[in-house]
Amino acid sequence: MNAEKRVAELFGVAGKRALVTGATAGIGRLIAQGLAEAGVKVWAVARNAGEVDALARELSANTPCHAITADVTSDEGLAAIKAALGDLPLDILVNNAGINVDTPLDGDGREGFDTVLGLNVTAPFLVLQKVLPNLEKAATREDPSRVINITSVAALDPGGLPNYSYAASKSALAMMTRQLGRHLAKRNISCNAIAPGIFPSRMSEKFLGLKPGDTPPPAWASPLGGRAGTLDDITGATIYLCSRAGAWVTGIMLPVSGGAATIKSS
C-alpha cells in the first residue's frame, strides 16, 4: 500500500453512521456538515422541525442525512431518537446540544442552573444510554464506536463572564467523559471530548456580540491568529477522533481553540 492511500484510509470515515445532537446551529451544524462531506451518514437531532428538516435536505447532497425532531431533555425526545435509529449500528455519537443562560450571583439562579445542567450534563448521559445498544452493535476491538462530548474551554479557564452554570456544566461533562472513557472501553467504545474556543454561533453572538466573519475582541481572541474557529478546525478534530487515526484514544479532552485557555498570548 502506498503512503498516500494509507493516510487516506487512516483518516477515512466514509460509510460510518453518526448521530449529532444540537445539529442545526453553531458547532453542531459545523460538525454535521463536516461529517457529511466526509461521507458519514448523519442523523441530525434538533428541537426545531423546520430547521432540522432543512439541514437534512442540505446535507443529503453529500451523503444521506436524516432529520430527528427531538428535545434531548425529555423522555419523548429520547424515545424519538431511539425510534429513528431502530436497531441500526451506530459508529459515532456527538453530544453537542447545549445552552448558556445568565445565572446572576445576586439573584435567583436556580432555574438557570437547572436548565443548563439538565441539557449540558444530564442529557448527554441519557442520550448515550438510549443509543448504547446501537453503539455496541457497531463496535469492534480494532475500530471502536466513538462518543464525542462537546465541552468548552470554559472547562479549562473560567474567563471573564459570570457564567457560573455553564462553566460548571462543561467541567462536569469533561469529567464524565473521562469516567465514561474508562467504563465504555470494556465495550469497545471510546469516549472523548472536544473543548471548542470561540466559534460563530448563536451563543457567541448572544454573549459576545460576535457575528459570522467577525474577529473576536482582544479579550477573547486566540493566541494563534486571533480569529474565531472555522468548519475545517472542528471537522479536522472530529474526524481525527472518529477515524482509524484516533482509534486508540479515549478519555481525553481536546481543546480546539487556537490556544485560548491553554496558553497565554504574549
**Tell me, what's the pLDDT at 106?**
81
Long-range contacts of 172-176 (CB under 8 A, 24+ apart): 172/117, 172/120, 172/121, 173/95, 173/120, 173/121, 173/124, 173/149, 174/149, 174/253, 176/121, 176/124, 176/125, 176/149
What's this model's pTM, rounded to 2 decimal places?
0.93
What confidence score (pLDDT) does residue 265 get?
54
**What structural domains and CATH numbers belong to the chain?**
3-256 (3.40.50.720)
The segments of the chain whose pLDDT lies below 50 read none
Residue 144, CA distances (Å) to 38, 126, 250 in order: 18, 20, 10
Note the pLDDT tens digit of each residue in 143-161: 999 999 999 998 998 777 7
- pLDDT for position 124: 98
- pLDDT, tens digit (0-9, with 9 covering 90-100), for 89-125: 999 999 999 998 877 788 777 888 999 999 999 999 9
> Which residue type does 189 have?
I
Write out the catalytic residue numbers: 166
User: From its phi and psi, is residue 52 left (phi > 0), alpha (psi between -120 and 50) or beta?
Assistant: alpha
Per-residue model confidence (pLDDT) at position 198: 82
pLDDT for residue 51: 97
Alpha carbon of 29 to those of 117, 159, 166, 177: distances in Å? Answer: 22, 25, 20, 22
